[in-house]
Amino acid sequence: MSQAPTKITIALTAAGIAGGLLRARPVFAQLALTVNEGLSYGTIVGWGTQDLRTTIMMIINTLLGFLGVIAVLIILGGGFKWMVSGGNEEKVAEARRMIISGIIGLAVMFMAFAIASFVVQSLANATS
């Protein structure tokens, strides 16, 4: 059985990467005045003035960013293992599992980000 990826696999991977890279992000250029009303009162005691929804999304973005870096490092580690395997089938299989695990991890993170963004945006629309 051939170890080379099929054209369908390559096309689906390229389409998934292109779809993720070309995803438009909302700008939120206009903000209702009532959303920021009363936020300056927290500065008296040293609290921040950001909206809670913004803070939650910043935390989610930061965590998913770190996890994305880890997944990319796993993929790179698998690629390095594959390169230095010297033709040993066990090492090649282990490297392939690492690469596949990293790609699955990235896909899960993209889905988690999409779900978290949808939930926070839905809550923001429902409460404003």
**pLDDT tens digits, residue range 37-88?**
666 666 666 666 677 777 888 888 899 999 999 999 999 999 999 999 988 9
Positive or negative: CA dihedral 120, 122, 125, 127: negative
Of the listed ranges 11-15, 35-39, 89-93, 95-99, the one predicted with least confidence: 35-39
The DSSP 8-state label assigned to residue 41 in this structure reads G
Token code pair at residue 24: 């438009």
What's this model's pTM, rounded to 2 decimal places?
0.58
Is the residue at 116 inside a domain? Answer: yes
Does residue 83 sit within a domain? yes
H or E element in which residue 54 lies: helix 52-83
- Tell me if 29 is assigned to some domain: no
Side chain identity at residue 34, one-letter code: T
Domain that includes residue 78, residue range: 52-128
Look at residue 126 and tell me if it is in a domain.
Answer: yes
Q: How many domains does the chain have?
A: 1
Is residue 60, in this structure, part of any structural domain at all?
A: yes
